[in-house]
């Protein structure tokens, strides 16, 4: 197991303490990794994407996630807070600029960060980018039943007709204001649904990365964000994209069921110079060797630019 050369907890205000750890070579170019979710956490498997003799890799858990405290807290926990946390962490670690690497929700957060603090970012590699638009959420919670009918049936078992038509609002209500047993059941359903979708894409179960987070914490944070459109509208996203000064590299699987390829196409309307590396038959997770290898190559190629 790789041991961090530095780790600690950063007080970012509002009662939140962020866990962070640094790996690799202290004087090498810095990279920050933005985990997905919202609500997931960093894990040691992320280090596999980098040559640690050539990078200083910063992993951290976002507000309410993983080893950050208070665990599962929704107070003062919005996208705006996370963007400012990221900049505060950069300054705390005395890093002038860094490469931003993010996946799924982390890719979206990276774009918003780069548009808010463009001088802090010297490159971006973004995998399986998520967009919090109605079409994306409708796809994952409603339309995906066409490709994974059994998984969707398990997710919605016992729901009323009206609840079946509004799966995300139903789950969010159960997680955020439901009784403890109801919230736990909703978290378990959501977790199984994601696992079954991943397994259907890959043709096998995804291994555990030993993330330091419970399902209830994870899906309460995720429902908090998704039910609010991740606290960012399309106009705000486009404005951030136009303020970016780096050209992002998108790594996206052609068979990504979680964040469909159309997400990248939408972004290209505002970022026509972005580099897109389509991964033929690639899915969403870095447990997919096609995606993992493409991500590693994209990171390596950033060293040459």
Three-class SS of residue 39? Answer: coil
Q: Which two tokens stand for residue 269?
A: 């309307």
What is the four-CA torsion angle of 49, 67, 85, 114, rounded to 10 degrees?
A: 20
Which residues are part of the catalytic machinery? 104, 256, 284
Concatenating the DSSP letter of every residue in 153-221 gives HHHHTT--HHHHT-HHHHHHHHHHHS-HHHHHHHHHHHHHHHHHHHHHHHTSPPPP---S--HHHHHHH
CB 185 within 8 A of CB 174: yes
CB 122 within 8 A of CB 99: yes
Closest CA to 14 of 56, 74, 66: 74
Closest CA to 209 of 11, 9, 36, 6: 36
Three-class SS of residue 234? Answer: helix
C-alpha dist (Å) from residue 29 to 72, 125, 189, 212: 32, 15, 41, 27
Find residue 276's DSSP bridge partners.
Answer: 250
Find residue 11's DSSP bridge partners.
Answer: 17
Find residue 279's DSSP bridge partners.
Answer: 253
CB 283 within 8 A of CB 202: yes
Distance of CA 45 to the CA centre of its chain: 15
Q: Which two tokens stand for residue 80?
A: 């705006």
């Amino acid at each position: 197991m790789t041991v961090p050369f530095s780790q600690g907890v950063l007080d970012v205000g509002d009662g939140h303490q962020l866990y962070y750890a640094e790996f690799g070579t202290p004087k090498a170019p810095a990279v920050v990794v933005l985990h997905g979710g919202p609500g997931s956490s960093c894990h040691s498997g992320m280090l596999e994407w980098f040559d640690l003799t050539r990078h200083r890799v910063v992993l951290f858990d976002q507000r309410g996630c993983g080893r950050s405290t208070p665990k599962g807290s929704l107070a003062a926990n919005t996208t705006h807070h996370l963007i400012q946390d990221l900049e505060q962490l950069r300054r705390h670690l005395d890093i002038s600029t860094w490469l931003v690497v993010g996946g799924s929700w982390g890719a979206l957060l990276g774009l918003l960060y780069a548009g808010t603090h463009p001088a802090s970012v010297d490159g971006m590699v973004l995998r399986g980018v998520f967009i919090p638009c109605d079409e994306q959420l409708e796809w994952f919670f409603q339309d995906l039943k066409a490709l994974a009918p059994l998984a969707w049936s398990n997710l919605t078992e016992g729901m009323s007709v009206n609840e079946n038509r509004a799966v995300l609002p139903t789950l969010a209500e159960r997680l955020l204001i439901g009784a403890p047993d109801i919230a736990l059941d909703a978290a378990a359903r959501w977790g199984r649904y994601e696992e079954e979708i991943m397994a259907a894409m890959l043709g096998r179960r995804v291994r555990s990365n030993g993330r330091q987070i419970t399902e209830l914490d994870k899906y309460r944070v995720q429902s908090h964000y998704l039910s609010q459109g991740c606290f960012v509208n399309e106009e705000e996203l486009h404005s951030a994209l136009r303020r970016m000064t780096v050209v992002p590299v998108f790594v996206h699987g052609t068979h990504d069921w979680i964040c469909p390829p159309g997400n990248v196409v939408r972004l290209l309307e505002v970022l026509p110079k972005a580099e897109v590396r389509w991964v033929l038959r690639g899915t969403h997770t870095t447990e997919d060797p096609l995606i993992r290898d493409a991500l590693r190559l994209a990171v390596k190629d950033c060293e040459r630019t």
